């Protein structure tokens, strides 16, 4: 590789780093907002049903005459999931906990070309720069809520998104389907 190409590569890499940090900050802000919206939808759904809702941070309880539904929130570090919401019904109902993962609706860079020739660092960095610029110029990320296989209280925890499990546009839509008003 000639020195001119090395210098060009260094310039491009210097541009990519700050833009990637900016894209990560935007994604984190969108994730935080989507979690807040999901929690607000939980509160609204159960409050509208006559329940009292209390809680903070990672655990909320909706209570009515001694029966409680719990919403537990767990951070996930998978490539597709940002957090998991577990809805725990009152034990008296004998129903299993249902877990829902918050996933991004459109994953950027899903259509990357497959490399069939020798790697070219300059082209790789140029493509990376173009992808991050596209990400920054597009609208904020949107999220869906994918139901995981229902967990049996006697069985180990299951964390698999099945193809036949429903996916909802909002956490409120999920709640309305599981416990309608």
pLDDT 10s digits, 14-41: 888 888 899 889 889 999 999 999 999 9
Q: Is 134 a domain residue?
A: yes
pLDDT at 118: 61
Q: Is 24 a domain residue?
A: yes
- The answer to whether residue 9 scores a pLDDT higher than 90 is no
Q: Is 1 a domain residue?
A: no
pLDDT at 79: 63
pLDDT in tens, 76-128: 866 678 899 999 999 999 999 999 999 988 654 444 444 445 678 888 888 98
Domain that holds residue 75: 7-108+118-178
Q: What is the pLDDT of the chain when averaged over all its residues?
A: 84
Q: Is 96 a domain residue?
A: yes
Number of domains in the chain: 1
pLDDT at 24: 87
- The answer to whether residue 145 scores a pLDDT higher than 70 is yes
Across the range 170-179, mean pLDDT stands at 95
Q: Is 156 a domain residue?
A: yes
Q: Is 54 a domain residue?
A: yes
Q: Is 67 a domain residue?
A: yes
Q: Is 2 a domain residue?
A: no
The residue written with tokens 């209390």 in the block is: 54
Across the range 160-173, mean pLDDT stands at 76
pLDDT at 109: 47
């Amino acid at each position: 590789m000639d020195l001119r190409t090395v210098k060009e590569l260094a310039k491009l890499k210097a541009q990519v780093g700050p833009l990637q940090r900016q894209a990560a900050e935007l994604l984190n802000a969108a994730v935080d907002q989507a979690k807040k919206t999901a929690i607000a939808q939980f509160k609204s759904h159960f409050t509208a049903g006559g329940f009292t809702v209390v809680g903070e941070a990672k655990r909320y309880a909706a209570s009515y005459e001694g029966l409680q539904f719990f919403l537990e929130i767990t951070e996930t570090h998978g490539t597709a999931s940002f957090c998991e919401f577990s809805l725990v019904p009152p034990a008296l109902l004998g129903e299993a906990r249902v877990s829902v993962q918050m996933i991004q609706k459109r994953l950027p860079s899903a259509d990357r070309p497959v490399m069939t020739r020798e790697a070219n660092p300059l082209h790789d960095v140029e493509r990376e720069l173009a992808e991050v610029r596209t990400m920054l110029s597009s609208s904020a990320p949107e999220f869906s809520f994918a139901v995981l296989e229902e967990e049996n209280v006697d069985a180990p925890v299951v964390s698999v998104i099945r193809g036949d499990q429903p996916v909802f546009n909002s956490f409120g839509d999920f709640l309305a389907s599981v416990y309608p008003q």
